[in-house]
Structures are given as structure tokens and as C-alpha cells.
Amino acid sequence: MFMAIEFKFPDVGEGITEGEIVKWKVKEGDSVKEGDVLAEVETDKAVVEIPSPRTGKILKLNGKEGERVRVGQVIVLFEGEGIPSAPAPKPTAAAPAGPAPPWVARTAPAGKGVLASPATRQLAKQLGVEIEKVSGTGEGGRVSDEDVKRAYGGAAPVLAKPASSGVKVALKYDFYGHLERVPLKGMRGAIARHMVEAKAHAPHATGMDEADVTALWKLREKEKKEAEKQGIHLTFLSYIIKAIVKSLAEHPYLNASVDEEANEILLKQYYSIGIAVDTPDGLMVPVVKHCDEKPILEIAQEITLLSEAARTRKIDLADLKGGTFSITNFGSVAGTYAVPIINYPEVAILGVGRISDMPRVVGKKVAIRKILPLSLTFDHRVVDGAEGARFLTKVKQYLENPELFMTEGKT
């Protein structure tokens, strides 16, 4: 007989505590070498490959594709070295040979009861299943509705009064027509959880303004030709990042986070800007690190590389962490103004709209100018409206006068 060696879902760093199995790259019975990829797991917003920690044969894979696993949870059993074992007892009349049904394989620990929700207990009661004898397959041995149904002997019958049974039926239609149900999981689930966290923790406030970026437009038209010779795609986002970094240096409370346990505001002494990237799977926010130390063209090159890595889901987890302030450029798709949601635990985010030709008074004449809409959302616990307005005015000042932060292409 062989001893099973457990492999637990490892801590992949960056504060990740759980992930979703996207795809198993092996199957039970396969022989693998140390370093071979066992599975692709989606953690937070990135898909990471889980390598095998050893060479050996796979006995069992725990978890189906689409299921979530937590750090420390056993996901693979490897075949270990052979060990002697006592012979199995012969069956008796009172105890027939063969494995026991899975729903009676384990009883509840003495004095600890059964882990199950009230709805699951009600279902067991209605089906006549002794929940104490059901083997729970959930975390920590929790008994689910499916465990109860298996114990009953298959699919549970339709109950006479489903409205009072505690069992919710997922209908594919409502009173008005048919429905399509899309599981809120994976990356979309991670985004949903993060948005709820942001709104729950930070009281949002938003201020709006617009910048005349005619001079910046001309500067970018001039410099993008030189950038193209170096294989760099120079966008306005690079200049906007520089303007933000300069402004954050003068308004440090927007480059911060809140330590809620210590009841302190953490003023960041570095400037790493997150850029929202629209991908087929949802919004991702890679971070351009230490933007104050990099010239415009280097920032532009990093934006291109990080955006492509995000869209192809090949981005490293470290590139999604460490931001101090974020930008969402919805103007690249459409729209002028919006109310962005803070990329928590940061305290501010700048929304950038579409640049449009608009009439403006210049001196005593009306002229057509390049106008950029700006929407700043901030955490009102840390930043008051006046300070938010001052910061937005400073960003506008830099964008309208790019010579203030341009010195031979560097700042």
C-alpha cells in the first residue's frame, strides 16, 4: 500500500488567500516531474500557474475546475513511498463488505455538532436525512445542500411548499420572459468583491473640471514621431501620469491609504500609478512603479507592456499591487465625465474623458481648443472637498502648461 503525500494550495504572495481553479493541466494517475505545471489558478485578478513541488504519481485531484480553494487547502495527493498496512477485516453478516456510502463515512465530532446552514438543516429535516451522519464536503467539513441530496439518494424531490422550505430554485425564466444565468465568479467575481469593499470602506466624493490641453496636444504630436522610431507608442496617458505625480508631491494626502486598525493615515513617500485596462475578462489595474523616477518615454513603454500583459492574462501578480493612485481612461472608449470608484485601499482616482474640440475664449477671441474632461473621486475620510479641488486645479495647471514638468523629456 502507498502513503499519500498532501500538496496544499501554496501562498502565492501579495496577500492572496484564495483562488479559483481555472484548468487542471494534469489528471489522476499522471506521473509528473518537479516543476511541472499542475493547474492554472485565478487569484484576485491574475491567472497563476501552480508548479509541482515534487516528482511522483498523482493519486487524487481535489477540486473541480471553477471551484474556489483557499491557501493551505489540500489540492493534490501524491503517491508516496510504500508502507506496510494491516489486512482489512473480513466482512461479517452485520457489516457487509464494500465501502460505506459517502454520507455515513464520518460522524460529527463529539460535542461539536454539525457545520451546516439553517436552510441546509431544514432541507435535511424535510427529506428525512439525519444530518449528523452526512459527510460534509465543504470547508471544515461543512454540510451543503448537495451533500444532503446525495445522502437522500439522488436528486431531492420537488417539495410541496418550496417558498417555505428554505431551498431556492434557480429559475431560468421570470414573469416577463426567459433568463440567462451567468455565474459571478472568477475575475468578474473578484472585481465585484473589490468594488463592494471599496464602497463599504471609503465614503466617495467626486469633483469635476476640464483642462485645455491644446499645448500638450501639439507637444505630443511632435514627440510621438521620435518615440515611434524607438518602437514606443506615446499616448496622453504618459503625460497625465507625470502631471499627477507632480501634483501628488504638493498634495500628499491624495497619495495615501488608511490603516483602519491603527486609525492612521499612511502618506506614501513613493509614486506608483495604477492604470485601468479594459480586458475581455474585466477591468484590471496594473501599476507603473516609481513614476517620479522615470522619463516620459519609459513610462509610455511600461504602459504598453503592462496593458498587453493584462489583456493576455500573462501579467505577474506583483504588477497589480503597490499602487498609490489610479487613473481610469474611459475617454479612450467614449464619454466625457463619470464618477469613478476608488481602487481601495488607495484614497483617490482620476477619471479621464475624451478630448474634444470645443470653443473657448482665448484673450478676447473665441477659438477652438482641445478640451480634456477630468473627474476626481476621493475618500472623504482623508480628503475634504476643498483639498480635492486644489489637487484637481494643480493637475489641470500642469496639463495646460506641460513645460512645467518637461525637461528634455524627463522630470
Would you name the residues annotated as active-site residues?
380
From CA 37, how far away is CA 32, in angstroms rounded? Answer: 9
**Residue 188, burial from CB neighbour count under 10 angstroms (0-12, 13-18, 19+):** middle
Question: H or E element: which one contains 220?
Answer: helix 214-229
Residues 6+ apart with CB under 8 A from 88: none
Helices (H), 264-338: 296-311
Beta strands 74-82 and 68-70 are: unpaired
From CA 116, how far away is CA 100, in angstroms rounded? Answer: 22
From CA 407, how far away is CA 411, in angstroms rounded? Answer: 6
From CA 216, how far away is CA 243, in angstroms rounded? Answer: 11
The DSSP secondary structure of 360-392, one letter per residue, reads EEETTEEEEEEEEEEEEEEETTT--HHHHHHHH
Residue 158's SS3 state is coil
Reference 45, options 329, 308, 313, 328; nearest CA is 313
The x, y and z cell numbers of residue 87, run together, are: 489486512
Residue 4, Cα to own-chain centre: how many angstroms? 34
Residue 139's SS3 state is helix
